Every structure is written in C-alpha cells, then in structure tokens.
Amino acid sequence: MRSKWYSKKWVTVALHAAAWVLLFSLPFLLRPSYNENPAAHKPRETSVGIIGYITNDILYVVFFYINALFLIPSFIYRRKYNQYSAIIVLCFTALLFVTWFIIFNVLAQPRFNIRSHFLFNFFFFLFILAGSTAYRMIKDRTRADRVAREKQTENLKTELSLLRSQASPHFMFNVLNNMVALARKKSDLLEPALLKFSSLMRYMLYETDEDKVPLEKETEYLQSYIDLQQLRFGKNVVIDTDMQMADGHYEIEPMLLIPFVENAFKHGTGMIDEAHIEIKLKTEKGSLLFSVKNRYDPASIEIKDKTSGIGLANVKRRLNLLYGDKQQLQIDEKNNWFVVSLKLNLH
C-alpha cells in the first residue's frame, strides 16, 4: 500500500527543519530596527553575537532530540523519574557550561553576564523540554492509534470474510433443497430451475469475491432467486415483487440482501394459510429502500429456527460492520406478518 506523501521521511525532515528555522529566526524578525543609530553596533560584536546565538540553537536542537528519542522512552516510560530529573539537570548545567565556554573563551566576548545568561537559558530550556516531551508523547499516541485502527480494520476484514464465507454455503443448502423438491415431483420445471440455478452460481463464483458489486447485478441476482422459488411453489405462494431499477450508478456488498429473502421463503411457506410474500426495492436520493414481508405461523417458526443456520444474525452483523449508523434495520411482527425494512446510505 502506498504511503501518504506527508508520512514520507523527507517530508518529516523538511517540516522539522522549517520549524526550527522559524523558531530561531523570531528574535531577528521581531527585534526593533537599529537603522536610526547603526554606529552603535560594531561589526565584530554583531558577528560574535550571531555565532554565539547559532551555537546555542544547535545545542538546544540536539537536546530536543536526545530527550524525545532517548530520555523519555528510556526513563519516563519506565517510570524512572528520579534518574530522569537528575539527567535533565545535568543536561541544563552542561548546556550552560558549553555555551559559556564558547562565548567567553573561544569567541573572546568580554561582556558576559552570567545572571542574564542563566535566566534566559533557564526559561528557554523549559520551553524546549516541554516541546520535546509533547512531541514524543503525541507521536507515540498517534502511532498507537494508527496501529489500533489497522488492527481493528484487519479484524473487521477477517470477520467480514468469515461472514461472507458462511453466507454462501447457507444459501446453497436452501437452493439445493429446492432442486431436490422439484426432482421428487418429477416436475417439468426442473430444467428452467437448473438454468436459474446456473445463473445464481455464476454470480456467486465470479462476483461475490469483490468488495462491492453494482446494485443492478445484485437486484438481478435477487430476482433470479425469487423466480427459482416461484418455479418451486407455483400457485401455493403469492409472490409480489417490485424491484425498481436504480436511479444512479450505485454499488453494494454482494449477497447482503439475500438472507432477508431466504428468511421470507423459509418462514412464509409450508403449512401456512394464504401464503404471501412481498418484496420491494428502490433507490431514493442516494439511499436504498428494501422491504420484505411474509405471512408466518407463530407455532412453527420456533421449529424452523432450529435449522435456520446463520441467516439474519449474519446480515445484521455485516450491516453493523459495513455501515454502522448509516443503516436502519427494522424488524416487526404484527398480525402474523413478519416485516423487514432496511434503509442504506449508498454513498
């Protein structure tokens, strides 16, 4: 997988360098102008001051990364607070000494105020220390969050793959039962049923490995399954379908809707008076509206549930994983009617 441009090492180095240049340029950018009395500043004193300032800056940059990359993980994260405090004090003392030695001895700056030097470096040292600590902790927290997200994503992918792998055998079991029923009846409908079955198999073999498929293909798949069931039950079950063509080029996860239809035929057929199933599908303003209704017998539904496989439990879990709060699933049981209503945000 290609990494984001802002996560590349050269971008990070460039951003750090720009931040340091900006930070250490502020005293020069914000200082008052000396154009009114240029003679008050001798060239040697100015050059000595700049060299000393740059030396000081380099030392602070070195301390920043030593603290962030070594001291914090080695002492703070291991709860060695006393040792860490002692090292910080030692670093500050060493920084003061090195700066004093360079300015007073190497650069031979005669006017060196130790008190002012200490106060300025003390507060600036605290600022760099706080910035370095915050940088390390934010960086580690960001990395931990990224790892957690990647782990969660991998877990979700694994679970979705498992749910999808469970859906196919469950569906095949029901369809093969239909074929057996037609064969026992020696029905002339067996041949067209096999053609429909081959169409379903083609879809399952070549389309369901994709993360998403066109909604039009999923609709055709549902219609083929309904036609197959119609051949099996004939006039014993009234099947009303209204699946309108999508008003846009939408995509959906394969075999996401079929468990609802399977459930309707499982519980809405058999020893049921006036068996009736209604299936509706349409798209409206970027949303999928899908509903399935079937009559059922409360006395027999518990027996059928014992062999129901994963069915609705599967699709509920998939919906939660894939769409979260961008889906609304409502299941009602009223007056011996089992009603499933689903609304999906297809964007």
User: What does 133-184 look like in DSSP terms, one character per residue?
Assistant: HHHHHHHHHHHHHHHHHHHHHHHHHHHHHHHHHHHHHHHHHHHHHHHHHHHH
Evaluate whether residue 46 is within a structural domain. Answer: yes
* Segment 222-251 mean pLDDT: 82
Same domain, residue pair 113 and 197 = no
Same domain, residue pair 144 and 198 = no
pLDDT of residue 306: 47
- Over 60: is that where the pLDDT of 132 sits? yes
pLDDT of residue 244: 83
pLDDT of residue 291: 94
Same domain, residue pair 136 and 199 = no
Which of 148, 180, 209 is a domain's end point? 148
pLDDT of residue 234: 78
Evaluate whether residue 53 is within a structural domain. Answer: yes
Rounded Cα–Cα distance for residues 31 and 42 (Å): 17
Q: Which residue has the higher pLDDT, 193 or 1?
A: 193
Say which DSSP state 285 is in.
Answer: T
- Over 60: is that where the pLDDT of 49 sits? no
Same domain, residue pair 341 and 196 = yes
Q: Which residue has the higher pLDDT, 283 or 317?
A: 283
* Segment 185-212 mean pLDDT: 78
pLDDT of residue 29: 63
**pLDDT tens figures, 140-168:** 888 888 877 776 766 666 565 555 555 55
- Over 50: is that where the pLDDT of 34 sits? no
Rounded Cα–Cα distance for residues 244 and 286 (Å): 14
- Over 50: is that where the pLDDT of 218 sits? yes
Buried b / exposed e along 135-164 (16+ C-beta atoms within 10 A): bbeeeeeeeeeeeeeeeeeeeeeeebeebb
Same domain, residue pair 77 and 205 = no
Which of 148, 183, 217 is a domain's end point? 148
* Segment 127-150 mean pLDDT: 86
> Which two structure tokens, joined as six digits, stand for 91?
């670093």
Q: In which domain, by residue range, is 43 found?
A: 5-32+39-148
- Over 80: is that where the pLDDT of 183 sits? yes
Same domain, residue pair 137 and 200 = no
Evaluate whether residue 312 is within a structural domain. Answer: yes
Residue 271: closest CA among 293, 300, 308, 292: 300
Same domain, residue pair 203 and 335 = yes
Evaluate whether residue 135 is within a structural domain. Answer: yes
Same domain, residue pair 144 and 197 = no
Contact call for residues 292 and 242 (beta carbons, < 8 A)? no
Same domain, residue pair 79 and 211 = no
Confidence of residue 342 (pLDDT cuts 50, 70, 90): very high
Confidence of residue 309 (pLDDT cuts 50, 70, 90): very low
Angle in degrees, 0-180, between the axes of helices 81-101 and 114-184, rounded to the nearest 10:
130
- Over 80: is that where the pLDDT of 80 sits? yes
Which of 95, 123, 148 is a domain's end point? 148
pLDDT of residue 45: 47
Same domain, residue pair 217 and 129 = no
- Over 70: is that where the pLDDT of 199 sits? yes
SS3 of 242, please? strand
Contacts of residue 121, Cβ cutoff 8 Å, sequence gap at least 6: 56, 92, 95, 96, 99
| Bridging pattern class, strands 337-345 and 327-334 | antiparallel
Evaluate whether residue 226 is within a structural domain. Answer: yes
Contact call for residues 177 and 171 (beta carbons, < 8 A)? no
Q: Which stretches of the chain are assigned E, i.e. beta strand?
A: 213-214, 238-243, 251-252, 276-284, 287-295, 327-334, 337-345
Question: Which of the residue ranges 50-54, 164-168, 278-282 would you say has the lowest mean pLDDT?
Answer: 164-168
Same domain, residue pair 98 and 230 = no
Confidence of residue 339 (pLDDT cuts 50, 70, 90): very high
Same domain, residue pair 222 and 86 = no
Evaluate whether residue 254 is within a structural domain. Answer: yes
pTM exceeds 0.85: no
Q: What is the CATH number of the domain that holds 225?
A: 3.30.565.10
Contact call for residues 113 and 99 (beta carbons, < 8 A)? no
Confidence of residue 90 (pLDDT cuts 50, 70, 90): very high
pLDDT of residue 277: 93
pLDDT of residue 301: 55
* Segment 80-98 mean pLDDT: 89
Confidence of residue 329 (pLDDT cuts 50, 70, 90): very high
Angle in degrees, 0-180, between the axes of helices 311-323 and 258-267, rounded to the nearest 10:
160
* Residues of the chain above pLDDT 70, percent: 73
- Over 90: is that where the pLDDT of 304 sits? no
Evaluate whether residue 235 is within a structural domain. Answer: yes
Angle in degrees, 0-180, between the axes of helices 43-66 and 81-101, rounded to the nearest 10:
160
Q: Which residue has the higher pLDDT, 28 or 314?
A: 314
Mean pLDDT, the chain, whole residue set:
77
**Radius of gyration of the chain from its Cα atoms, rounded to whole angstroms:** 36
Number of domains within the chain: 2
Residue 177: closest CA among 57, 304, 286, 52: 304
Evaluate whether residue 175 is within a structural domain. Answer: no
